[in-house]
Amino acid sequence: MAKKKILIKKEKKIQVDDKERVISGFEKHYVDADKDFHTKHGIISKKDLLKKAGSVVKVKNHEFIILDPVFLDHYKRIKRMAQIITLKDIGAIIANTGITKDSVVLDAGSGSGAIACFLAMLAKKVISYDIDKSSLETTTENIQSLGLRNITVKEGNIYSYTKINEKNIDIFVLDVPDPGKAIKTAQKVLKIGGFLVIYLPNITQVQDFVKELPEELLIEKTIEVIEREWAVDAKRSRPKTKDHGHTAFLTFVRKLK
Ligand SMILES: C[S@@+](CC[C@H](N)C(=O)[O-])C[C@H]1O[C@@H](n2cnc3c(N)ncnc32)[C@H](O)[C@@H]1O
C-alpha cells in the first residue's frame, strides 16, 4: 500500500457583530504521500506531505496539520459491500466478550470483512466464512490493504454444520440473515464458556432466534447501542442534530456444555 498521511484543517471562524461565522469548515483528508495533493485551497507538495507528524503546512492562508495514520484511519477507508457492523457495535462486542490476544474468533458472513479485520487487530486468529465469492474477494482485498496476517477467509455455508470443522472457538460472531439456522454450528465450534454474538436489525428476529436456542446455550443479554454525538464548543453544548439511527440488536449467548 502507498504511504498515507492524514491532513487536518481546523474550522475557521470570524466574529461578525455579536455572531460567530464559520468561514471555512473542518477538513480531514486521507492522502497518498507519494504524490502532490490538490485541496480546494491549493496544492500541497509531496515533499511537504512527508514532513513529520505535527508539522503545519500552509496553503494560501489555510493551515493543514500533518498526521501519520493509525489503524482506524486505514480501517475507515476499507471497501464496503454489504452493511458493515458499526464501530459503536464493534465496541460493545469487544467489551461484552472480553476478547484478548489469545482469543480465536469465527465470523460469518464475512461481508466486507469489517468486523473480521477489526477483531483481528486484537485477537490471536480470526476465521471468516461467506457463502458469496464476491464478498470473499472484497474481504481479502481489505485484509491485504490493512496488512493483517491472522485472518483466514473460507467459502462456505455457515448453516451447514457438518461442513464447518473449526473447534474450540472463543467468540463466534454471526451477521447472517437467519442465525437460527447456525445454532448447530455454534454448538459444534464453540468451546465451553465461549460466546456466540448475534447481530440482527429487528427485535422480532431476535425473538425468533431466542425461541430456537437449546438449554446449553445461555442468553446473557440482548442490547441496542445508541450513540449520541454532541456539538461542544465555546457557544454550543448540545446533541448534534443528526439522525441517531438504530443499527441492530446484539445478543450475547454463552455455551454452557
Ligand atoms: C451484512 S453482511 C456481513 C457484514 C460483515 N459482518 C462486516 O462487518 O463486514 C452478510 C453476509 O453474510 C453472507 N451470508 C449470508 N448467508 C450466509 C451463509 N449461510 N453462510 C455464510 N455467509 C452467509 C452474505 O453473503 C453477506 O456477505
With a CB cutoff of 8 Å and minimum separation 6, the contacts of 116 are 105, 107, 110, 126, 128, 139, 143, 151, 153
What is the C-alpha separation between 44 and 35, in angstroms, rounded? 9
Q: Decide whether any atom of ligand 1 lies within 6 Å of the 87 Cβ.
A: no
Ligand 1 binding pocket mutation candidate from 115, 130, 137 (most atoms within 8 A of CB): 130
Q: Decide whether any atom of ligand 1 lies within 6 Å of the 114 Cβ.
A: yes
Question: For residue 87, what pLDDT is reported?
Answer: 95
Question: For residue 244, what pLDDT is reported?
Answer: 65
What is the C-alpha separation between 135 and 210, in angstroms, rounded? 28
Entry pTM: 0.92
Q: Looking at the CA of residue 176, tell me the nearest atom of ligand 1.
A: 12
Question: For residue 18, what pLDDT is reported?
Answer: 74
* CA 107 – ligand 1 centroid, Å: 9
Distances (CA, A) of 37 to 46, 52, 256: 7, 16, 55
Question: For residue 81, what pLDDT is reported?
Answer: 87
Q: Decide whether any atom of ligand 1 lies within 6 Å of the 86 Cβ.
A: no
- CATH says 4-69 is which class? alpha beta
What is the C-alpha separation between 173 and 107, in angstroms, rounded? 5
CB 179 within 8 A of CB 200: yes
DSSP code at position 86:
P
The closest of 125, 210, 212, 108 to 169, measured between CA atoms, is 125
CA atoms within 13 A on the CB side of 121: 14
**CATH 1.10.357.10, domain 74-255, yes or no:** no
Q: Looking at the CA of residue 80, tell me the nearest atom of ligand 1.
A: 9
Q: Decide whether any atom of ligand 1 lies within 6 Å of the 179 Cβ.
A: no
Q: Decide whether any atom of ligand 1 lies within 6 Å of the 90 Cβ.
A: no
**In the numeric block, which cell numbers belong to residue 215?**
438449554
With a CB cutoff of 8 Å and minimum separation 6, the contacts of 187 are 161, 214, 216, 217, 255
**In the numeric block, which cell numbers belong to residue 40?**
480546494
205-221, pLDDT tens digit by residue? 999 999 999 999 999 99
Q: Looking at the CA of residue 139, tell me the nearest atom of ligand 1.
A: 9
Q: Is 132 helix (H, G, I), strand (E, B) or coil?
A: coil
Q: What is the residue type of 178?
A: D
**In the numeric block, which cell numbers belong to residue 135?**
464478498
Q: Provide the sign of the torsion angle of the four alpha carbons 137, 139, 145, 151, taken in this order.
A: negative
59-83, pLDDT tens digit by residue? 988 999 999 999 999 999 999 988 9
What is the C-alpha separation between 253 and 209, in angstroms, rounded? 11
Q: Decide whether any atom of ligand 1 lies within 6 Å of the 48 Cβ.
A: no
Angle at 34 between CA 31 and CA 39, to 5 degrees: 40
Question: For residue 243, what pLDDT is reported?
Answer: 66
Domain boundaries, the chain: 4-69, 74-255
Distances (CA, A) of 30 to 2, 7, 205: 12, 7, 38
Low-confidence ranges of the chain (pLDDT < 70): 1, 243-244
CA atoms within 13 A on the CB side of 12: 9
* CA 157 – ligand 1 centroid, Å: 10
* CA 153 – ligand 1 centroid, Å: 12
Q: Decide whether any atom of ligand 1 lies within 6 Å of the 132 Cβ.
A: yes
Ligand 1 binding pocket mutation candidate from 110, 127, 139, 145 (most atoms within 8 A of CB): 110
Nearest CA to ligand 1 atom 16: 176
